Chain A
Amino acid sequence: MATEPAIRLRGVVKRFGEITAVDGLHLDVPEGTCLGLLGPNGAGKSTTMRMLTAQAIPDEGSLTALGYDLPRDSKQARADCGVVPQLDNLDIELTARQNLAVFARLYRVPRGERRAAVDRALEIVNLVDRADTPVDELSGGMRRRLLVARGLVHRPRLLLLDEPTVGLDPQVRQELWALIDALRAEGTTILMSTHYIEEAERLADTVAIMAEGRIVARGRPADLVREHAGAETLEVYGPPARLAEVRAFAEEQGFRTRRTGTAVAILRSEEADGRLPDGVRRAASLEDVFVLLTGEEVA
């Protein structure tokens, strides 16, 4: 059991009609670590998350969560898993406490321990003062925290976070990051899907970059950057015609480039030896890796 990863996927395939959402996925999440599943919209992240709770059934391959075979023993696995969905599905007419109390029951927290479990979850997400406020009257950030609390009410060993901070303002996002980091420090295994690069970089021990239903790269954020994007990136600014020119020139010289909106980014510029035009030099980032591996085009 000690060497068994908390999540293990082998050759997992999931099709929706003609579309293959997950295409031969291999993935291990060791116990007590946080894995960030990074990928553009439509990469198959949410489908992967849903397969881990048997809300999607794979067409091929094998999955285990906490040692349980999925989907066969998924009910057992779900009892030890907490899920924070991307879409808010709290009961809006109920209070924060009532929402948590219902899920404490659904997750089989014994009757005598439910009240303490709810109090503890409220405390973790700092909503004790709002315990008796209907969800309807909570702010967006509070609702998201309550959603996290709902996923934690039964002290899960494994936490599945699907885009935990999507659509939140920076202050709330940082608050949630601190919360997730604290859970990881306590030893909870976390699988987090996100398309925010900074989020993956800050929270994940390991990042897996997903595109078109497969893992295209996997490693510690810093290692991924070094391996795929080198040390330094040069950003050259200018009007579109100039950018096209710079890009063509850099590629002729054997450099990989990408558009960053208003500039052209030239990767591994530390190897340039004065061959490249002037621009702003910055450290290579996970975003460079992400765009290199998942493509510039928005699907």
Chain B
Amino acid sequence: MTRRLHRLEPAAISGVMSRDVTNFSTFWKATTFSSVVEPTIYLLAFGLGVGTLISTVEGLDYVQYVGTGMVATSVLFASALSAMFGTFVKHRFQRTYDAILAAPVDTEELVTAEILWMSARAGVYGCAPLLVSMLFGLDPSVGMLVVPFIGFVTALGFAGFGVLMAAVVSKIDSFNYVTTTVITPLFLVSGTFFPIDELPQWAQVVANVNPLYHSVELVRDAVFGFEPVDLAHLAVLIAFALLMWRLAIWRLEKRLID
């Protein structure tokens, strides 16, 4: 080996991702099943249940309102939860990361590759609610083609958050605190099921620092028509992604390197 090795080498990142892809080939069916069936159940419940009480929200048919909103929440769960549990298991139980770091791969490359892979996956599977919504009468639009990309950018931040949490907690049960105090509130105050402008002032402030809210808005606007404010939503998601990426690397390196 005469070539100098640098930081963030594409070969290291694609190598780690190739491991993820190979592993994914053993369980993609289960992932695909749940990401399609779950939004179907939600939309049936909301369409047949809540939909009978509320017919339109912000000028949209309620099922379409929820269906488009659920793209972002699917992305949240697909990225944050698999990052939390996946990272913890690979680090503590399977010791996979020990093997990877013994190879010419640094923590920075490892974390970057894991986040990129989980985000690509979440971006693709996050579109499932949109496809299911079409069965419930949502009209296709050109803007929908941007949705996987929005899902990907959203997932970058939440996957980074998941890796960060996996590096911070000392045991796997502690994830209960994270899901209860962070994930569930984020999910509810995001404008997925009800508009946030009806909420008290403080809750609106909370929603505005919630990256998921910005993702929900961005996805809806992609489907129903972009507005100038969408650039601000995108900027928030990118800033969140960058922050979580660096924090995840910092904390996981403390865990992995003695």
Contact = CB atoms under 8 A, between A and B. Distances in A.
Interface of A: 14, 16, 47, 50, 53-57, 75-76, 78-81, 83, 85, 87, 89, 91-94, 98, 101-103, 105-108, 150
Contacts of B137: none
B95 A85 contact: yes
A76 B15 CA distance: 16
A102 B98 contact: no
Interface stretch (B100-108, B151-159, B197-205, B217-225): B100-108
Interface stretch (B16-24, B31-39, B68-76): B16-24
Contact of B22 (A80, A92, A102): A102
A47 B258 CA distance: 9
A167 B101 CA distance: 24
Interface stretch (B4-12, B178-186, B228-236): B4-12
Nearest to A80: B1
Contacts of A50: 258
Nearest to B101: A55
A22 to B, nearest CB: 11
Interface of B: 1, 4-5, 11-12, 14-16, 18-19, 22-23, 26-27, 94-96, 98-106, 256-258
B102 A85 contact: yes
Contacts of A80: 1
Given A76-B4, A76-B5, A91-B23, A108 B104 contact: yes
A91 B102 contact: no
A108 B11 contact: yes
Contacts of B100: 106
Given A76-B1, A79-B1, A103 B258 contact: no
Given A89-B94, A89-B98, A93-B23, A106 B104 contact: yes
Contact of A78 (B22, B102, B258): B102
Nearest to B106: A75
A53 B22 contact: no
Given A91-B19, A105-B18, 6 more contacts: A76-B4, A89-B96, A89-B99, A91-B94, A98-B22, A102-B18
A81 B98 CA distance: 14
A102 B102 contact: no
Contacts of A54: 257
Contact of A94 (B26, B98, B105): B26
16 contacts: A54-B257, A55-B98, A55-B258, A75-B5, A76-B1, A79-B5, A83-B102, A85-B99, A91-B96, A94-B22, A102-B18, A102-B22, A103-B99, A103-B103, A107-B104, A150-B99
A81 B257 CA distance: 18
Given A79-B5, A102-B18, A85 B98 contact: yes
A54 B104 CA distance: 10
Nearest to B11: A108
